Structure formats: structure tokens, C-alpha cells
Structure 1
Amino acid sequence: MTLAGTLETELELKSPADKYFKRISSELHHAPNASPDKVHAIEVHEGDWETPGSVKLWTYTLNGKKEVIKDKIEVDEAKKSVTLVAVDGHVMEKYKSYKVTLHIVPKGEASVAKITLNFEKHHESHDDPKDYLQCVISVAKDIDEHLGSQAD
């Protein structure tokens, strides 16, 4: 069993790429409205909502347990890519490193989210973070649905 790994998936979105990318790159404060059963709060810890490098503290539920994660956001406007790098929180108890990237690719009137989770475990006995990936997928779907329910 290896300590480092990558989990990947693709998610078909109904939202246009530009609209979805804007939501995840500079409007994450809407995530609790889109996915209230999973994301309870997101607070700016350093920086602001729009500046790459800003640090946010998330409160969320995973497997029925309330957890927190503090992450730093990296944004690549040209590639429509957002990366959240964990710097503190419950996820760091099992993983030395944890990084989620959402790359939004236009597909006609809609888009595709290519989701990549890179991680390194503290111990071989820890499971791969498949439950965290499922949570990211679920929240990403909720954000897409929420965007679709809003008037432009």
C-alpha cells in the first residue's frame, strides 16, 4: 500500500463553464446556501473571497460528523482551475497533504468538472480519502443545481 495517491473523477455540469468557475473561484460564500446539509459555514481567515492565496475555514459534515478544514485557494483563470490546499483541520489528522483541484471545461452550453484529489497519508493503515472525494462531488453537484435555480 502506498502513502501518496490521486483520486480523479469527472462530473457533468448543467452550468456554463464561466458561471460555475466564477462561483467556485470567488463566490464560495454561497456554498452553504447551495449545500446546507453538508457545508455549514465558510469564513475568510486570511485575505478575502476573491484573492488567490486567501485562507478559508470550512465547517462541514462528513459521514455524519461535523468537521473543519482550513484551506488556501489557488486560482488559474486561464485554465478555469481552482485548487484548495488543506493547511489545517480534521483532514490533516490522517493526511500529510490534501489538495483538491476542480478544472472546469466548457462543453457546449454546459461544462465538465474534472476533479482531482491529491493526498499523502500519515500511515499506510489510513484509507484513501474516497469519502472526502464523495463529499466534494456532492457539494459540486449542489452548487451546479443552485446555479441553475438562480435567475441570471
Structure 2
Amino acid sequence: MALYGKLETDIEIRASAEKFHEIIHQRPHHISNICSDKIQGVELHEGEWDKVGTILYWRYVHDGKNCAMKIVIEAVDEKNNSFTWKVLEGDLLEYYKSFRIRVQSIPKDEGSVIHFTLEYEKLHEGIPDSHSLLQLCADVSKDIEAYLMGNNNESSFIAKA
């Protein structure tokens, strides 16, 4: 069993790639209003919300447990609606030496495809691949899609935050 792992998935959504990217990258602190059962909060720890080098603190539910992670925005490509987070601290690092999450929102004729890539190095061979975290990413994406396709009035969105 390899210590290095990479998992990828594509989630098709009806919302635009730009709108999805805007919420998950530029306004992640609003996600807890969209899917509070999965994301309990995102706090700005250092920097600006959507800039490389910014540090964010995420509180989320994974495998039925309340979890947390501190991430740094490692790379951003606004032209291609993509970014990379590197986990600095938190529950994931109990199992992984390193962990990165890449998200790209790809436009289609109607809607978009959200491409998630999880790259990690396990602490030892007995640790399973993180399929459940990839599923959490997919579930959050579907919740964001439902929000964007429903009432996406900007003023009501901000009022909830």
C-alpha cells in the first residue's frame, strides 16, 4: 500500500462555475449558512479571504465527528476558477503527514463541473484513503448548488451571514 495518495471526483452542478467559485473560494465563511449540518464555520485567521497566503480555520463534520482544520490558500487561478488549500493543522493531520485540496469549477454549456483533487501522504500504511472526505466535498457542492439554484439574492445571502 502506498503512503502517497490522490483521489479525484467530478460533481456536475446546474449553477455557473463562476458563482460556485465565488462562494467556495471568496466567501467560504457563508457556507455554514448553506449547509450547517456539514460545515459549522469558517473563520479568517490571517490575510484576506481569497488571497494566496491567507489562513482559514474550518469547523466541519466528518464521519459523524466534529472536526477542525487550519488551511492556507496555497495557489489561486481566477481565470480557471481554481485554488489549492494546504492543511496546516487539525484532525486530518492525525492520519496524514500532508494534505492538499484542489478545487476547480469548470464551465459547461449548462451549469458546470466541480473537480476536486485530494492529495496526501499517510503517516503509515494502515490508514485508508480518504473517500469519506471526498464524499463530504461532493455533498457540500450539492448543497451549494441547491442554494445557488434557489434563492440566490445577494442581500438575503449576506443577511444570513
Q: What is the TM-score normalised by the length of structure 2?
A: 0.90
Percent identity (aligned): 37
C-alpha distance in 2 between matches for 1:69 and 1:100: 12
Q: Deviations over 1:30-54 (max 9, x none)?
A: 1101111011111111112132221
Deviates more, 1:44-53 or 1:109-118: 44-53
Give the count of matched residue pairs: 152
In terms of fraction of residues, the more helix-rich structure is: 2
SS of aligned partner of 1:33: helix
C-alpha distance in 1 between matches for 2:65 and 2:134: 16
| Deviation, structure 1 residue 19 | 1.2
- Matched with 1:32 is 32
Matched letter for residue 98 of structure 1: F
CA contact (8 A) 1:75 1:83 kept: yes
Following superposition, which runs of at least 4 residues in structure 1 exceed 6 angstroms of deviation? none
C-alpha distance in 1 between matches for 2:58 and 2:37: 13
C-alpha distance in 2 between matches for 1:30 and 1:75: 19
SS of aligned partner of 1:78: helix
C-alpha distance in 2 between matches for 1:90 and 1:105: 30
| Deviation, structure 1 residue 139 | 1.0
Matched letter for residue 12 of structure 1: E
- Matched with 2:153 is 151
CA contact (8 A) 1:24 1:82 kept: no
Matched letter for residue 40 of structure 2: H
SS of aligned partner of 2:80: coil
| Deviation, structure 1 residue 94 | 0.3
State whether structure 2 residue 143 is matched by structure 1 residue 142. yes
- Matched with 2:45 is 45
C-alpha distance in 2 between matches for 1:130 and 1:56: 23
C-alpha distance in 2 between matches for 1:94 and 1:12: 30
Provide structure 2 residue ranges, at least 5 long, that are not aligned to the other structure: 155-161
- Matched with 1:80 is 81
C-alpha distance in 2 between matches for 1:122 and 1:50: 30
C-alpha distance in 1 between matches for 2:69 and 2:146: 24
Deviates more, 1:112-121 or 1:50-59: 50-59
SS of aligned partner of 1:66: strand
C-alpha distance in 2 between matches for 1:102 and 1:125: 27
Q: CA RMSD in A?
A: 1.2
C-alpha distance in 2 between matches for 1:145 and 1:52: 28
Matched letter for residue 124 of structure 1: E
C-alpha distance in 2 between matches for 1:113 and 1:23: 13
Deviates more, 1:120-129 or 1:77-86: 77-86
- Matched with 2:64 is 64
SS of aligned partner of 2:141: helix
